[in-house]
Amino acid sequence: MLSFISNTQTKIIANKVINNERISPDDALFLFEKMPLHIVAYLADIVNVRINQQNVWFNRNFHLEPTNICIHNCKFCSYSRKKNQDGAWEHSIKEMLEIAAPYKGSLVTEVHIVGGVHPERNIDFYGELIYEIKKLLPGIHVKAFTAVELDHMIKKSGLSVFQGLKKLKEYGLDSIPGGGAEIFNSEIRKQICHEKSNADTWLNIHRQAHLNGIPSNATILYGHIENYAHRVEHLGKLRELQDYTHGFNAFIPLKYKNRNNLLSHIKEAVISEDLRNYAVSRIFLDNIPHIKAYWPMTGKEMAQLALEYGVDDLDGTIDDSTKIYSMAGSVEQKPEMTAGEMIELIKNAGKVPVERDSLYNIIRKY
Ligand code: V47
Ligand code: SF4
């Protein structure tokens, strides 16, 4: 069956994947460094079809970005500002409810809330925001706050992580997005975002969330100063936690975008590198059901191509409600996609569009 593969190591790893055996971190390193891309893609597709068949998942969502004022100074960030700096914003709860109001009575099922780590806002401010949004849009799923935002607001309130998450759940928090993970390796993390919550804190918040019945996503920020071993270390920590909690729904590789930030001298990863990264993630993270291509970052065509490399989830319709990636130089300067456009994009890739809710229950197959 694998007679077209001549390299022995490639054949050994390919056989593991085909036989549904877990690959090791060394195998993952080999996939990154040495295996021809077309074979990695072939193996990623086997894993993806085993989990998701031909389904490609999406939802109808919008983002709320409460503020871009942030106490941190991540070198890759094009989005954050200090208070009173040009381009800074901090929406009041009333303003955010005005942004959310047009979605009343629409088919949108999820609001994704993330922003900067504001120095003054505390858990009760954000709790009230969630509560008011749910009052305005009953039944909406609130996926909110990166572990870095949570770390700050929970510490500020003097609660333990478990108590803080419990409190937010009582306010209506349904799940947690994957941001803030960046790269777990401490040496690299020190160089690109030295002050913010470290890897153990990020992992602990997601662990406690899962144990509190709050599912979450995970990300990696790649294509800056890290090497393949750092990426494998990152994936290994996620796979280990997932074995324990089973609380991650999706993994989202985020490609470093180099516009308007302190690492702008670094060239962005080439497309073949992005595709390989999706594919290796799909193969290695055998216990995370979904690999997401976040099209406001990748562009729509690239997200469509990624469906051949292990990706099965295209996030949502977004409705031009996020600025993180347009400010970092994405081709999608006005990220919006109608459900019709999303369905066509998926069908044109030869796959089956499945509209989902935030927990991957099927709303409708097209
Ligand atoms: O943590 C910031 C990243 C993340 C840049 O869970 C950058 O469904 C690349 O986590 N180049 C926030 N990346 C976004 C995020 C996310 C996005 C979509 C879906 C989900 C989900 C989560 O954005 C940050 C950071 O890693 N980021 N600046 C940049 N210049
Ligand atoms: Fe703040 Fe997030 Fe930007 Fe870092 S990436 S500076 S934590 S907004």
Q: What is the 3-state secondary structure (H, E, C) of the chain?
A: CCCCCCCHHHHHHHHHHHCCCCCCHHHHHHHHHCCCHHHHHHHHHHHHHHHHCCEEEEECEEEECCECECCCCCCCCCCCECCCCCCCCECCHHHHHHHHHHHCCCCCCEEEECCCCCCCCCHHHHHHHHHHHHHHCCCCEEEECCHHHHHHHHHHCCCCHHHHHHHHHHHCCCEECCCCCCCCCHHHHHHHHCCCCCHHHHHHHHHHHHHCCCCEEEEEEECCCCCHHHHHHHHHHHHHHHHHHCCEEEEEEEECCCCCCCCCCCCCCCHHHHHHHHHHHHHHCCCCCEEECCHHHHCHHHHHHHCCCCCCEEEECCCCCCCHHHHCCCCCCCCCCCHHHHHHHHHHCCCEEEEECCCCCEEEEC
Does residue 144 contact residue 177 with C-beta atoms inside 8 Å? yes
What was the pLDDT predicted at 351? 98
What was the pLDDT predicted at 359? 97
196 in contact with ligand 2, CB cutoff 6 A: yes
Nearest-10 crossing angle of helices 147-156, 123-136 = 120
Is pTM beyond 0.85? Reply is: yes
Mean pLDDT rounded to a whole number for the chain: 95
CA of 73 to the centre of ligand 2 (A): 6
Q: Whose CA is nearest to atom 30 of ligand 1?
A: 257
Q: Whose CA is nearest to atom 23 of ligand 1?
A: 179
CA of 90 to the centre of ligand 2 (A): 15
> Would the pLDDT of 321 be above 80?
no
What was the pLDDT predicted at 325? 72
74 in contact with ligand 2, CB cutoff 6 A: yes
Q: Which ligand is closest to the CA of 181, given by its number?
A: 1
Residue range 326-346: mean pLDDT, rounded: 87
Whole-angstrom distance, CA of residue 347 vs CA of residue 353: 7
Q: Which of 324, 325, 326, 330 to mutate to test the pocket of ligand 1 (most atoms within 8 A of CB)?
A: 324
Query: What is the tens place of the pLDDT at every residue in 284-314?
Result: 999 999 999 999 899 999 999 999 999 999 9
> Would the pLDDT of 333 be above 90?
no
249 in contact with ligand 2, CB cutoff 6 A: no
Predicted confidence band of residue 1 (pLDDT cuts 50, 70, 90): low
Instruction: Give whole-number Cα distances, 237 to 5, 135, 226, in Å.
Output: 31, 37, 16
Range among 85-89, 180-184, 331-335 with highest mean pLDDT value: 180-184
Q: Whose CA is nearest to atom 9 of ligand 1?
A: 256
Q: Whose CA is nearest to atom 7 of ligand 2?
A: 72
Query: What is the tens place of the pLDDT at every residue in 137-179?
Result: 999 999 999 999 999 999 999 999 999 999 999 999 999 999 9
CA of 254 to the centre of ligand 1 (A): 6
Q: What are 216's strand-pairing partners?
A: 176, 248
Nearest-10 crossing angle of helices 271-284, 37-52 = 50
> Would the pLDDT of 11 be above 70?
yes
Residues 6 or more apart whose Cβ sits within 8 Å of residue 26: none
Query: What is the tens place of the pLDDT at every residue in 237-285?
Result: 999 999 999 999 999 999 999 999 999 999 999 999 999 999 999 999 9
Of all residues in the chain, the percent with pLDDT exceeding 90 is 91
